Amino acid sequence: MEEKKVKEYVKKRYGEIAKTGGSCGSSCGCDCRPSSTDVALQIGYSREDLGNVPETSNMGLGCGNPVALASLKEGDIVLDLGSGGGVDAFLAAKKVGKKGKVIGVDMTEEMIQKARATALKYCYENVEFQLGEIENLPIEDRSVDVVISNCVINLSPDKKKVFRETYRVLKPNGRIMISDIVTEGELPEEVKKSLKAWAGCVAGALERDQYLDTIKRAGFENVKIVSESTFTVDVTPELKGKITSIQVEALKI
């Protein structure tokens, strides 16, 4: 499917979610479903996590909790790819402290506006949000310690470029902790060609081995899945058992 068409649809869909608050869109942008809190708990956030961030930042989007596995430490510079309403950025900000910094990048203006307003309202001085595409990051070379992302890279039509860009901005010995969706086997053609399925984090998902190989080809080493689970949120009957949420760690040596 044409890359430009996919991006325009995804951007429009997530702009709509930003305006509505996300409580009636899916993790990854499908249709009506449980509350944002219920979804967040289902995909790996704890009630303590949700209590430590502004309520408006939790939009029920994602397929995991990368911050919980990223082993962030005080002083780290963290980049959040596809930061959305900012829930992971704000969680990371607590971990890195005043000496650290979190940068969220998102291509949807409405999401950036929402996250910036939340950061200003709640006085997050170590967080900033930048408008940009994850295939062309507005970030300097070798400037970031850790890159996190939550169910976003599958939305990109050019995942090779995303991981090359991720590698570029990481410092030597930097690392990634990515929560994302992969498939178990081929998806039906009608799903692959569906714009709605693209926005729903399904049509653009790679098969597991292909996803890991794409990370390795970008230059990363020690690529491994640290956690995984069958993804069930808003999955149609024909796709049950074919969609998996994985948490991937890798290093830039």
Q: What is the pLDDT along the chain (253 residues), one digit of tens a residue?
A: 578 899 999 999 999 999 987 644 344 444 445 688 998 998 999 999 999 999 999 998 999 999 999 999 999 999 999 999 999 999 999 999 999 999 999 999 999 999 999 999 999 999 999 999 999 999 999 999 999 999 999 999 999 999 999 999 999 999 999 999 999 988 888 888 888 888 888 889 999 999 999 999 999 999 999 999 988 766 677 788 889 999 999 999 9
Q: What is the pLDDT of residue 234?
A: 67
Cα–Cα dist 54/84, whole Å: 13
253 DSSP 8-state letter: -
In whole angstroms, what is the distance from residue 180 CA to residue 109 CA? Answer: 22
Strand order in the sheet with 101-106: 127-131, 101-106, 77-81, 144-150, 170-183, 243-251, 221-230
With tokens 């949000």, the residue in question is 129
**pLDDT value for 2:** 78
Q: What sections of the chain are H helices per DSSP?
A: 3-20, 36-43, 47-51, 66-69, 87-96, 109-121, 159-169, 189-192, 195-199, 208-217
40 to 58, 88, 160, 167: CA distances (angstroms): 8, 11, 28, 29
- What per-residue confidence (pLDDT) applies to 237? 75
Q: Which pLDDT value is given to residue 30?
A: 42
Q: Output the pLDDT for position 23.
A: 44
pTM: 0.92
Q: What pLDDT, on the 0 to 100 scale, is given for residue 238?
A: 78
C-alpha span between 118 and 97 (Å, rounded): 18
pLDDT of residue 236: 75
Report the pLDDT value the prediction gives residue 8, as an integer from 0 to 100: 92
Crossing angle of helices 159-169 and 208-217, in 10° steps, is 40
Domain boundaries, the chain: 3-251
CATH (residue range 3-251): 3.40.50.150
**What pLDDT is recorded for position 187?**
87
